[in-house]
Structure 1
Amino acid sequence: MTEFDPAPESTATEPRWQQGEDTFSRVYDVAMGITSPTPAAEIADVADCSPNAAKKHLDRLAKMGIISVNRDGRPVQYERNEGYLEWQDASRIADELTVKEIINRVSELEEERADYEDEFGATDPTAVNVYDHDSHEAIHDRMTAVSEWRSVIRDIRLYELAHQLAENDGHLISA
């Protein structure tokens, strides 16, 4: 292809974004999907907008605490705020369940955590050496169990936060 050839036609069968979705929504959706620090230009490519528009909306999202910004290097890097996602999950749990249901779920999760602690003889999943066995199957089983243990710990944190929110009308502390 020479520099004067026409741009190739898109092979996509469906548009990436729904008709009428505004730029802010597209940038927000992309920012929630990134898993590592990413420059505004890359986010703009995926969000189908200009880098300046992406930067404007990313800076707004940063002021809202939804994403974090690392301005130390060039280009500036943006990253989703995992705490924001946990807050969203806890708020959803607080809205969907009663305080009693939340307390019961925390008790169930704490029992699961205690079972993992007994199984591995540790109180922290990072202290477990999953490669401590000879067979591939045993290693795989331990990796799966440790991953599930980490999920239980995360869920305990979410349900405890949801409990605080549910008891205090959406606030962490009572008014």
Structure 2
Amino acid sequence: MGSGPSCESPPVENPFTEDSVEARLYETIAQLQSPRTVSEIAARADCDRQTVREYLQSFVSLGVVIKHRNEPPTYERNDAYFEWDTVKTLAHEHSLAEIEEHAQTLLERIQEYQDRYDAETPDDVADTTAESAEADLAGWRAARSELRRYEQARQIRLSKSENSA
């Protein structure tokens, strides 16, 4: 499948007017953890099935959802779209200095985990240790994921600086 659920997904900001059909569908899609039919999405969003079907086609075109052509067709959120949207928002809402400062904080946090567990990544931690350190490993993975987003936002900011110079 294209996206699949992710415990590392960032919070999603809804770009549509509050309480519009688009907003309800977008919010519903953002919360999907697995593929759903039009009927299931319509029930969750409290919308007419035909209206949902029409908007889902637009959302597929925009890359917000992935359509699976089973019978009946199912739709799932495209985590890559939401990830990229988060990166663009970070780059837009924060200065280069703020992005770099937060990235440095994340790098330090990751280094602390690496030192504590004598491992390069959470996946390198021994299974016996992993069971007792589940919360740390989840925090470590989250910090690595967040750092990737901040590094991408930094690249956007740097390219904007170069283009305006």
TM bucket normalised to smaller: 0.7 to 0.9
- Residue 120 (structure 1) shift: 1.8
The equivalent of 1:151 in structure 2 is 142
Find the aligned partners of 1:123 and 1:81 in 2 and give their Cα distance. 29
**Is structure 2 residue 25 aligned with structure 1 residue 54?**
no
Find the aligned partners of 2:99 and 2:20 in 1 and give their Cα distance. 36
Find the aligned partners of 1:57 and 1:116 in 2 and give their Cα distance. 44
Q: Relative contact order (C-alpha < 8 Å, sep 6+): which is higher?
A: 2
Two-structure CA RMSD over aligned residues (Å): 2.4
Instruction: Please give the TM-score of this superposition, normalised by the length of structure 2.
Output: 0.77
Find the aligned partners of 1:129 and 1:87 in 2 and give their Cα distance. 32
The structure having more radius of gyration, on CA atoms, is 1
Find the aligned partners of 1:143 and 1:174 in 2 and give their Cα distance. 44
Q: Which runs of 5+ in 2 are unaligned?
A: 1-17
Deviations 1:59-94 (A, max 9, x none): 2111101111211x2221211111222222222222
Deviations 1:22-68 (A, max 9, x none): 32222122111111111111000111222222121112111101111
Aligned residues: 147
Q: Equivalent pairs: percent with the same residue?
A: 27
More helix by share: 2
The equivalent of 1:109 in structure 2 is 106
- Residue 139 (structure 1) shift: 4.1
Find the aligned partners of 2:123 and 2:83 in 1 and give their Cα distance. 21
The equivalent of 2:158 in structure 1 is 167
Find the aligned partners of 2:20 and 2:108 in 1 and give their Cα distance. 46
User: Secondary structure at 2:160's aligned position in 1?
Assistant: coil
Q: Which runs of 5+ in 1 are unaligned?
A: 1-19
